[in-house]
Structure 1
Amino acid sequence: MAIITENSIEKIRLEADIVSTVSDYVNLKKKGVNFFGLCPFHDEKTPSFSVNESKQIFKCFGCGAGGGVFNFIMDVEKVDFVDAIKILADKNGIEIEYKKSSSKQSKSLSNELLEIHDLANKLFIYNFEKSQNVIDYLKSRKLKPEIIKEFEIGLSIDSYDQVLKFLQKRKFSSNAMKSSGLFVETKKGYIDRFRNRIIFPIHDSMGRVIAFAGRATNSENIAKYMNSPETPIYNKSRILYGLWKSKKSIVSKKSAIVVEGYMDFLKMYQSGFNNVVAVSGTSFTEGHAIQLKRLCNTIFLLYDGDDAGKKAAIKTGYMCLRFGLDPRIVEIPDGIDPDDWISDYDSNEVVNKISKSLSTIEFHFKYELKNIQSDVEKAQFVNKILLEIKDMDDPIYQELQIKKISDVVNIDQRNIILRMNDINKGKKTKFSKPILQKVDKENNDRNIVLEQDLIKLCFSKDIKIRNFIYHEFDIKWLTDSINKDIFDNIYIHLHSQSAVSEDLIINNLNNKEQRKYLTSLLYDIDSNMFTIQMVKECVMRLKKKYIAKQIEELRLSLKDMNQKNDVLQDIIIRISDLERELNEVI
């Protein structure tokens, strides 16, 4: 995969004005030097979301969200850093540059593939509009014309080379044609992969066609569904059908409905369930769980009512649990799929079923109940669930699931915990480290404030202040790991002739909590007010505290009566040297 150049990222950062970017999502009004509006990340009635134009950063005083322009797009669009770059490049008309000698080739291949799929999609739509039989068929399946148009449903005709000949006229490279997945190689050459099928285009997060799924228009010894293979622009385990349309609804409703089929998706969507997605050419994967976790916490699994559908829902439910999601399984009548169910029932019935959905553990127990005839089988069932949840990262959420098991099977929670401990023997327990360490205000605030002052001073407009820090300060004098990480990101920029850019450093921080922390530190400071005396005082005090701490630790080690005489002598000499150094700090 081609890597975006640093120059390209920097160009986009400088061109993508944060006020203009945020204004596409938030109605901003200027008050004083900053802009204010309703926060897009939480519900509020009084504007607490602020944008600082001069520093090119944003901060919400309500929920604490903050960062630079890349971070804003990542949070509001729920995309990763690379997609945020692409969105901002597109908004600002900037062509992205890629690294390495193969970058032009990779870039042009990606662009060619997108163009190939766009043209093929237009051809399929053209075919569909000319085929009354297929139009009538979808009408009989109760699919509305506006939904057909919105999701660009098409048709591949009964031809071995319509798409091939159509695209060959456009002079695409042979590599792009082969890599597109639209053709199958035979002894006589390449032929169209999709023939005589209703076509469902698959889009990426930006609404670009990247693959296709085809449903057979007849049942003459061919597979009912056919999907594009994976290509340089299509990764099945990361793409959810319809997400480009339903993402905003998923975020606003804080939940997603997951179905297995394209028709299931379309029926749900046209019935008003706009927070629905479908898996695309594969079963539900960890990549899908990660994507949905970024958008919401609750997942409603609406799978087929047959035995295979129920097993798939249970498997998906446990996968979602491991990623900290709250999966709920919707019970639909036995033996039918969501497509038929939605068509035959009123949407209120669907809403009712969703509201009465079961947790994965409850549904699993209900499904297995017919097989649980003895206490031994009940114990085996509990063991089966514990094996599913043993790798959950969040110990608190894991404990809540154990309580749920206890409630469902009526076994004392303490005994289930004992069994879980047995399962976990030899396996390290996973505890997530707090990202932003909470400092005891009474004991450590004074030192932390000093460190925060130093970080603020790094953003001074005065090059003398920045140079003083660059030459005179040592990162080991910082005690807080968050402040160390941030200073480590800043340090290389201190030697530059230009002032350190707030949004550049914030955007470079990988950790969301660190970005919020630094945004809070910098948002209201006036860096023009800093003086050389301030930085000298700050650096001196931090150095003194560091030396004093070393002396304290060495004095404690002197109390160890097991130390050899020569070691004790070395410690005493070291203490003496440090005391001399401490006295020399001015």
Structure 2
Amino acid sequence: YSRESVDKSGLFGKGKQGVVDRFRSRIMFPIMNRSGKVIAFGGRVFESEDPAKYMNSPETPLYRKSEVFYGYHKTAPAVRSAGSAILVEGYMDFLQLVQAGIENVLAVSGTAFTTRHAVQIGKITQKVYLAYDGDEAGQKAALRAGYALLQNGIAALIVQVPEGLDPDDWVQKKGVDIVRTGIENAVPLLNYHLEITTAIDLPAVERSNLVKEILEEIASIRDGIIRDDLLQTLANKLNINEREMVKQFRNAVSRKRRPSQLQESKQAAPTLFITVVQKAQVEIISALLTSFRDVKELVQNNIDLISEPLLNKTARLLLEHGSGSTAAVLEEFRDKSERETIARILMNGHNVNDPQILVQECLQTLKTQPVREKIQQTRLKIRELEAAGKDTSAVILEVGQLREQLRLQTENDQ
């Protein structure tokens, strides 16, 4: 192999005597892409004085840490079937849970959870249980991951792993039934945040600072329903007047916008695609742009599922002009705002390891998300009827029928 290939593989490092094995004296965990091909490794120290307990492959042309979940190729079907994912930090956490019979698990491969992770996980589920280590570092990491999920429209619940344990230890010492109960008793992210900070008992100044910190996170959530629910919960839990809460929230939003306000005022704001369905359509266009031959037929056969007019037009133009046709596509958009929106999408295209699998998952989202949204709307209707003291049996039956429709649709696509 050439020296360039050796360096790019991520398997070797530079020592005093030349090239050395990066993972010497370590137990190896292969990290695979969505189709089960090895793209990287994690290594746990074994019979060595090395202070670094775990070591991961560096980023390579094949391995992008912010997009990869350990075990995805094995457990993604279980995640879809369960309607939720249990997210853990480490390889052993993942392996112990799956071995114990809890299969809808994903691991972040020992790296920080990012917005890209949230986008990827949002393609297969809209609910995530965070089972991070039961120490202070694990609590902080769970909060960061939880807010990233909420900011991408995904429900985040915290599994309270006992202090001093990680999910691996928890399963081995307490048994799988206790762990399942812990998952069932998971608490919403905001409730957990207020609980571990003992927010209600904090002095006024510290409580005010905590509220501002939380509002900064909520200000980044675009989904109005999620945002309003969190604001109401925050006001109720801390006995804060709702008017004061709204005032503080507006201040937080203003602080978020201020750095880019001058620039934004000079140009028309491009269209934002922020819903699950819209994001899936953008991902399809990105795959079409970077992996045209691999996904052309798949996109062509399902072009009508791209329901956003602007995105549908873009996809059709890419199919018509072929790969490398960015300039030709942009010339078809006369409106300045539309052209800027599409330019941003086309310029931000990123290569993925398995474009066909990515597009298949996005298409499945486009087929099933309308049913999921209808289920959510029907559940809200049940709550309204219950509050009014009216009969809910017909609506409950409708939810059951929709869930069965969703199950059959998911099975047919797998």
Task: Please indicate, yes or no, whether the TM-score normalized by the shorter chain is above 0.5.
Answer: yes
Mapping of residues 170-249 of structure 1, within 5 Å? 172-249=1-78
CA distance in 1, matches of 2:37, 2:241: 52
For structure 1, the residue ranges without an aligned partner over 5 or more in a row are 1-171, 437-480, 495-507, 517-586
Amino acid at match of 2:104: N
Amino acid at match of 2:82: K
For structure 2, the residue ranges without an aligned partner over 5 or more in a row are 278-307, 322-358, 368-414
Query: What residue number does 2:120 align with?
Result: 291
Q: Would you say 1:334 and 2:163 are equivalent positions?
A: yes
CA distance in 1, matches of 2:252, 2:320: 50
Amino acid at match of 1:223: A
Q: Over residues 144-180 of structure 1, what are the superposed CA-to-partner deviations in whole Å (9 max), with x where a residue is unaligned?
A: xxxxxxxxxxxxxxxxxxxxxxxxxxxx344322211
TM superposition score normalised by structure 1: 0.45
Query: What residue number does 1:309 align with?
Result: 138
Do 1:394 and 1:432's aligned partners in 2 also have CA atoms closer than 8 Å? no
Residues 415 and 216 (structure 1), Cα distance of their counterparts in 2 relative to 1, 3 Å cut: same
Mapping of residues 430-509 of structure 1, within 5 Å? 482=309, 486=313, 489=316
Amino acid at match of 1:292: I
Do 2:194 and 2:200's aligned partners in 1 also have CA atoms closer than 8 Å? no
Q: Which has the larger radius of gyration?
A: 1
Judge which range, 307-316 or 423-432, deviates more: 423-432
Measure how far apart 1:387 and its partner are. Answer: 0.5
Task: Find the partner of 1:355 among 184, 189, 192.
Answer: 184
Quote the RMSD (CA, aligned, Å): 3.3
Mapping of residues 45-64 of structure 1, within 5 Å? none
TM superposition score normalised by structure 2: 0.62
Measure how far apart 1:434 and its partner are. Answer: 9.8
Q: Would you say 1:261 and 2:90 are equivalent positions?
A: yes
Q: Percent identity?
A: 37
CA distance in 2, matches of 1:491, 1:485: 10
Q: Would you say 1:393 and 2:222 are equivalent positions?
A: yes
CA distance in 1, matches of 2:5, 2:319: 42
CA distance in 1, matches of 2:149, 2:228: 16
> Which stretches of structure 1, 4 residues or longer, exceed 6 Å deviation after superposition?
428-431, 433-436, 490-494
Measure how far apart 1:372 and its partner are. Answer: 4.0
Query: What residue number does 1:319 align with?
Result: 148
Amino acid at match of 2:234: I
SS in 1 for 2:41: strand
Residues 216 and 433 (structure 1), Cα distance of their counterparts in 2 relative to 1, 3 Å cut: closer
CA distance in 1, matches of 2:153, 2:22: 39
Residues 483 and 425 (structure 1), Cα distance of their counterparts in 2 relative to 1, 3 Å cut: closer
Aligned length: 286
Measure how far apart 1:236 and its partner are. Answer: 1.0
CA distance in 1, matches of 2:94, 2:318: 51
Measure how far apart 1:346 and its partner are. Answer: 2.4
SS in 1 for 2:80: helix
CA distance in 2, matches of 1:185, 1:492: 46
Q: Would you say 1:272 and 2:106 are equivalent positions?
A: no
Q: Over residues 515-564 of structure 1, what are the superposed CA-to-partner deviations in whole Å (9 max), with x where a residue is unaligned?
A: 98xxxxxxxxxxxxxxxxxxxxxxxxxxxxxxxxxxxxxxxxxxxxxxxx
Amino acid at match of 1:400: D
CA distance in 2, matches of 1:306, 1:377: 22
